Structure 1
Amino acid sequence: MLIPFVNRFFHWAVVGTISPVLVLMIMSKGAQLEEVGFAMAAMSLSVVVFELPSGVLSDLMGRRRVYMASIAIAVAGYVIMFVADRLAVVCVAVALYGVSRAFSSGSIEALYIDSFIARRGKGGLHSLVAAMSVGETLGLAVGALAGGYIPLLWKRLYPLSNPYNGNLLVQVALLVALLALTVLAPHRDAPRGDAPAAKTKIKELFRESARAVRGNPVVARLLIGAVFWGFSFSAIEVYWQPRMRGLLGGADATWLFGIVGSAYFATAIAGNVVAGAFLKKARPSSGMAAIGVLRLATGCAIVALAMQGAAPGFVALFLTVMCCNGMMSIPEGTAFNAAIPGTVRASLLSLASLAVQAGGILSALACSAALRFFPIGAVWVAVGSLLLGSAFLYFGAPDGRPLPSVETVAPVR
């Protein structure tokens, strides 16, 4: 499990390095505050457009090859962002980052999961999912902490340069290390199709994926739940920085956002650990009910977060929401990967990711309109209430039962 853990750590450290200053960086590259939404929309749209095709390519051409292609695309995006000086160039850069996210989604994870199942079976799958989840959140935490301080250091070293260019160079260096790890790792998979038959096999993969969703109500419920989660979590993830800045009186301290961003991912690790320990002792059939309870708790925490008027209470509840997010990823990931057929695993992982992205895009549109009339707190009350309502998708779900002829599973974020 060491290689999957290290891969996830480096992969998400790249994301964490820019996360606490992403909007500030976009604005420093020539975008006005009211234009930032266009850049974020360009990124989300590129993820949505390429999500399913990238999953199908992973199943046909090999997960490792597609993942390495995603690294190359990400490097191109960061290089373009480094030289960007206006909104149009920024949009191109973040769109390439979105394509990279789509190509990496479900590809290398599917390879690790298939290798694990082939060697050890599905019984201990939750251990692998937990190891990868901890690697992801630890990478995000370390990256976010560093990402808040890199602009300060870069400004001292190169006072005439854009302060966020240091973050971009660190990201490129991490991606080069990740590419080397992927090339040297022993995990291999062969292409699943040849060029002449690719079109036919793509259709077969889509049909098999559709049968998997239709044939298993757990999969369908988790996909719908992923849309609700994407909608609610996107509203928190996008607006927590301006909300906290307002509570701090407008102070612009990137180091402080780096600390909170790092703590945000660290609490998700704690959630991973707690959920992993619970699932080791729980009955298999309790997974969906556990997700439902966690959705209720998270929805309540978001509503309480919306009502905070001081920074300490805000930070405490914000971290509570992140902890619940970490806890949910384990039962959802285990349920999903235990049910889906290996032949279309990457495709269905991409479909689950697509559901989250669709929820995020809907959230961006709805929140942009709502914020013209209501404050962030009121918008968060609404999204928290929606998440509360989605909890009832998971109660009474028939998980733990034998699946139909087509192997199926439940999707996750």
Structure 2
Amino acid sequence: MSAPGGIIAGPRIDPRSARRRYVTTCALFWLPMGLTIAPLVLLFTERGMALTAVAGFFLAHSLTAAVLELPTGGLSDVIGRRAVLAAAGLLNAAAFTLQALSTTAWALALGMALMGAGRALSSGPAEAWYVDAVQASRGPDAELRTGLARGGAATSAALALGTLIGGALPWLLDLGPGDRIASATSDLVLPLSAPLLLGTVVVLCFTGYVLTALREPPRAPVTLPGVLRGVPTTVAEGLRLGGRSTLVRRVLWSTAAIGGALATTELLTPGRVATLTGAPESGTLVFGALSCAGFACSALGSHLAPPVARRAGSGQRAVLVALATAAVGLLPLGVTAAVSGPPAWALGALGYGLLYLGLGAAGPNQNELLHRAVTSSGRATALSVQSLALQLSGAVTGLLVASLGVGPLPWLLATALLLTAALLWCRAPERDVPPAPSAPVPETIRTAS
């Protein structure tokens, strides 16, 4: 018996085992990313790169991820989730190694481009694998929100832990940012390289775990011409989905609003913190701690997503409440642009916490709605479309915010985006939308827990 996407029926995975493996996969993938948050820019500058070159490196990452986002989502739907995730791990391992050891601009840019390709490959397959496994075991009406919430919590917790380790590791080694490690590789290895080298090890562990734990049903043999035909078809179907489904459009617009809010926060907060502390060095340290706290609030929000949906009465209402909470959090951040001293610190901490708490609660609820509107054969593509909406909105909003200056106006713009997205869900149905009609959900492999 075959199913859409070339999947052949097979034994099923226990839902609890699937959820555990999905959570572990999220944590192992995002922990290395967290390790790079604090040291990456400083590492580039220690290599002698100008800020314009550093901006170009990040542009290489963003453009690569944006260009490959939809094709890689389609590839996952055609050839399988596990192979694409493993490829993402190998690309990230190469990227971290290049960034840690390279001294030339072209090699550092290549490392960032490889990281962008890994990001594109990873956006969707793990979540699609989890949803496929649970629906194959329990049917299309299976409860998804709890597993998605735990995956989101694991992602945020891994980023928080990675940020702490990545910022503290050079200090724990008792090495200053400008000192070289006394070894034969002193021209290549800086103290700030250590978090990225550790990230390479974790990424290789992630790749091994994916290959051994995320078992999939066998698929019909796929030839290169078949892949070349199947991927564009799947991508086109994913793009058409937003035009046909009001629910999917709302998810995409909400995701775009979230991208704009995050871009505003990430662009303006570091400079504001440095101004409040009085020095860039102390501002970096405080911003690292603030980022860790934000990820912790996001993890808490993801954990609270299922009870929020139960109390609100539906997934749609839960998204509305969560986005409204995040929008309220942006207002105190905007006020800090006009005040200083203890009130600014108190308002900033409150706003940052509310923003990430709300965004953490919104993600699992809106993604469950998305999964109920798509079928297995296009699930990873739909997630890639969602990721693309986040990235493009963040890029456009970042350019706009940069032109508006550092006053309250950019924060008001971001608040308006989130409030508009929340209002979209006021018109949502009173109950969750049932799954779209599709071919029978394929059975997946049942492996030992």
Q: One fold, TM greater than 0.5?
A: yes
Match of 1:49 among 46, 52, 67: 67
Letter in 2 for 1:28: E
| Matched residue SS, 1:85 | coil
| Matched residue SS, 2:38 | helix
1:229–1:356 Cα contact (<8 Å) kept: yes
Structure 1 190/376 Cα, relative in aligned 2: closer, same or farther at 3 Å?
Answer: farther
Q: For each residue in 1:49-98, what CA deviation from the matched residue of structure 2 results, as whole angstroms up to 9, or x when unmatched?
A: 00001011111111100110011111111111113335443322211111
Structure-1 residue corresponding to 2:290: 260
| Matched residue SS, 1:156 | coil
Letter in 1 for 2:256: V
Structure-2 residue corresponding to 1:277: 307
Match of 2:432 among 387, 400, 403: 400
Distance in 1, matches of 2:245 and 2:331, equals 32
1:219 equivalent in alignment to 2:253? no
Report the alpha carbon displacement of residue 190 of structure 1 after superposing the two structures with TM: 3.7
1:347 equivalent in alignment to 2:367? no
Structure-1 residue corresponding to 2:180: 160
Number of residues of Structure 1 aligned to a counterpart in Structure 2: 402
Structure-1 residue corresponding to 2:197: 169
Structure-2 residue corresponding to 1:14: 32
Q: For each residue in 1:306-340, what CA deviation from the matched residue of structure 2 results, as whole angstroms up to 9, or x when unmatched?
A: 21133343223212211111111121111111221
Distance in 2, matches of 1:154 and 1:266, equals 26
When structure 1 is superposed on structure 2, of 27-36 and 77-86 the one drifting more is 27-36
TM-score by length of 1: 0.90
Q: For each residue in 1:224-247, what CA deviation from the matched residue of structure 2 results, as whole angstroms up to 9, or x when unmatched?
A: 222222122112123322221221
Match of 1:149 among 168, 180, 183: 168
Letter in 2 for 1:259: A
Matches within 5 A, 1:287-298: 287-298=315-326
Structure 1 232/255 Cα, relative in aligned 2: closer, same or farther at 3 Å?
Answer: closer
| Matched residue SS, 1:252 | helix
Distance in 1, matches of 2:126 and 2:393, equals 24
* Percent pairwise identity: 25
- Runs (5+) with no aligned partner, structure 1: 408-413
RMSD, aligned α-carbons: 2.3
| Matched residue SS, 1:394 | helix
Report the alpha carbon displacement of residue 26 of structure 1 after superposing the two structures with TM: 3.2
Larger Rg: 2
Match of 1:383 among 414, 420, 426: 414
Distance in 2, matches of 1:219 and 1:46, equals 25
Distance in 2, matches of 1:304 and 1:316, equals 7
Report the alpha carbon displacement of residue 155 of structure 1 after superposing the two structures with TM: 4.8
Q: For each residue in 1:95-116, what CA deviation from the matched residue of structure 2 results, as whole angstroms up to 9, or x when unmatched?
A: 1111100001101221122011
1:275–1:330 Cα contact (<8 Å) kept: yes
1:361 equivalent in alignment to 2:395? yes
Match of 2:265 among 236, 261, 264: 236
Match of 2:107 among 89, 95, 99: 89
Structure-1 residue corresponding to 2:51: 33
Structure-2 residue corresponding to 1:130: 149
Structure 1 243/39 Cα, relative in aligned 2: closer, same or farther at 3 Å?
Answer: farther
Structure 1 363/39 Cα, relative in aligned 2: closer, same or farther at 3 Å?
Answer: farther
When structure 1 is superposed on structure 2, of 310-319 and 185-194 the one drifting more is 185-194
Report the alpha carbon displacement of residue 376 of structure 1 after superposing the two structures with TM: 5.5
Letter in 2 for 1:238: L
1:149–1:255 Cα contact (<8 Å) kept: no
